[in-house]
Structure 1
């Protein structure tokens, strides 16, 4: 397994913050911090200056000591909300996991990465590590911008891809419109494709030689090709499905979480619709419990899979 690259300068920044957190609110001066952390005073001063400018630290002009700043309060609240959201999602995913004997997860974009916030894994299924992270860049992450404004989708598409990807914008637009109308996404991958996509989704993909990245990229489906279009699913025909995904929303109607229900086998179009409706109902319940707002209203979707309409301009 490839090991992600680590940054000594970044580790020093983390060390400064950790040291001040451990100080329990007690301010520390430049000399003391540099000495206790084993870094030079000029380096330490540069780190402190940047953290003060960003609001993560404050400098007492009387004592010339440094302490924790207000930006950490906002960061802490955001982190707390993220983990709270995972706890709430778990309660609503557990019945689905039991009903379908399937792994269910709740994940979200945290910074520049996708993070697994919680998971319900039935006995015998492969484990899922809470806190696992993936780069938020094509071809990974479509479902995290799918139900948000178009500008978020375009911003994600503009990120440097982890692998070379092909993009048929017309097909991708059809995928986006249908998933928004259905309220859920249905993803299909072959077993080999699933394994390859999982292995190559990590940061290590950036480190591959250009020729290898190009070759692997040819083996990975282009954006949108792994998503079934709901209107084209025959209710009686079986379709090999990897997972179903649905969004939970924040207070302003913004996409906040993605809930997934693993399938990993071939099921009929009718069964896909049933599982999609069940997952959407769970996502709506999570939205309500978190004080969020589903675009277009809060009425639950009926079992038929018909959905509420989104307000014009919401995309």
Structure 2
């Protein structure tokens, strides 16, 4: 396994941190505290990023923000991945049709990154809450299940992480259910204040090991057992936090997802399946329009995700 170069890793951390806080500017000291980087290293890295135009330094306030040169990187990435723009247009259409919030997310290494948000139906939602464009969440159970459902066994086990044997087995059943249905369901338990608070802490201190451990413990204590649609009684109701469907690339790997959220009331099991099927069809439409390949329900990727 190739060892990452520390300077390169820290440069990426700085860019990701600035991306996750698009309306703020940070001093060198603030970046050092948030990311745990040595002052001399941070100064040298920021000098290189500034010289390249990837970061801009305000000479008066001595703060840093993302530079316009990154726009060219973004445009090139959109050319390389046309499914992103197609997915955003589909999210806009789906949000209007269902009167829900619809997100486009992408797999990004060990994280899931939010690329776009269409709708605006979430009451009490603020730009600093988890889920705005540029925000990231750890690709760790139960988040990002659609990104690992078709992955290899090693990737799935890393995603499940430390769990009791029963919980780990339930997560495997969840992934199998996603492969059969073509969509996943996250319940309102995932929006518990402790979980949202832990996510915000991770965003503000992404390299803090204690914050990572706190998030894991909070998930274990708060999220409950993995949710299985097959266990819901036909006459029961469910209050979903979101319904998520995968968008596949030409190799048959999950590149993006469409996620419908903003459910104000519980829905019946039948309604939940209808909504899931609607989101799945939108995601599949993006896949086919961008020459992606939808694998069969029993297909599994032979290549690890991360």
TM-score range, shorter chain: 0.5 to 0.7
3-state SS, counterpart of residue 190 of structure 1: helix
CA contact (8 A) 1:259 1:279 kept: yes
Using the size of structure 1 for normalisation, the TM-score is: 0.64
CA contact (8 A) 2:184 2:243 kept: yes
Whether 1:258 aligns to 2:257 is yes
Give the structure 1 partner of residue 134 of structure 2: 131
Whether 1:147 aligns to 2:150 is yes
Using the size of structure 2 for normalisation, the TM-score is: 0.66
- The 2-side partners of 1:271 and 1:170 are apart by 27
CA contact (8 A) 1:249 1:257 kept: yes
Unaligned runs of 5+ in 2: 1-29, 55-69
Compute the displacement of 1:194 (Å).
Answer: 2.8
1:181-204 Cα distance to aligned partner (Å, 9 max, x none): 11111111338x533222213254
- The 1-side partners of 2:48 and 2:248 are apart by 35
Give the structure 1 partner of residue 178 of structure 2: 179
Give the structure 2 partner of residue 30 of structure 1: none
Compute the displacement of 1:243 (Å).
Answer: 1.0
Give the structure 2 partner of residue 240 of structure 1: 239
The verdict on how the C-alpha distance between 1:226 and 1:88 changes in structure 2, with shifts beyond 3 A counting, is same
Unaligned runs of 5+ in 1: 23-71, 159-163, 297-308
**What is the aligned-residue RMSD (CA, Å)?**
3.6
1:202-213 equivalence runs, <5 A: 202-203=202-203, 204=205, 206=208, 208=210
Whether 1:293 aligns to 2:293 is yes
- The 2-side partners of 1:208 and 1:252 are apart by 37
3-state SS, counterpart of residue 35 of structure 2: coil
CA contact (8 A) 2:248 2:287 kept: yes
CA contact (8 A) 1:235 1:271 kept: no
Compute the displacement of 1:90 (Å).
Answer: 1.7
3-state SS, counterpart of residue 106 of structure 1: strand
The verdict on how the C-alpha distance between 1:106 and 1:177 changes in structure 2, with shifts beyond 3 A counting, is same
- The 1-side partners of 2:214 and 2:85 are apart by 40
Compare CA radii of gyration and give the structure with the larger one: 1
1:1-315 equivalence runs, <5 A: 4-5=34-35, 7=37, 8=39, 9=41, 12-20=44-52, 79-80=77-78, 84-122=82-120, 125=123, 126=125, 127=127, 128-138=131-141, 140-157=143-160, 168-190=167-189, 193-201=191-199, 202-203=202-203, 204=205, 206=208, 208=210, 216-221=218-223, 225-227=225-227, 229-262=228-261, 263-296=263-296, 309-311=297-299, 314=301
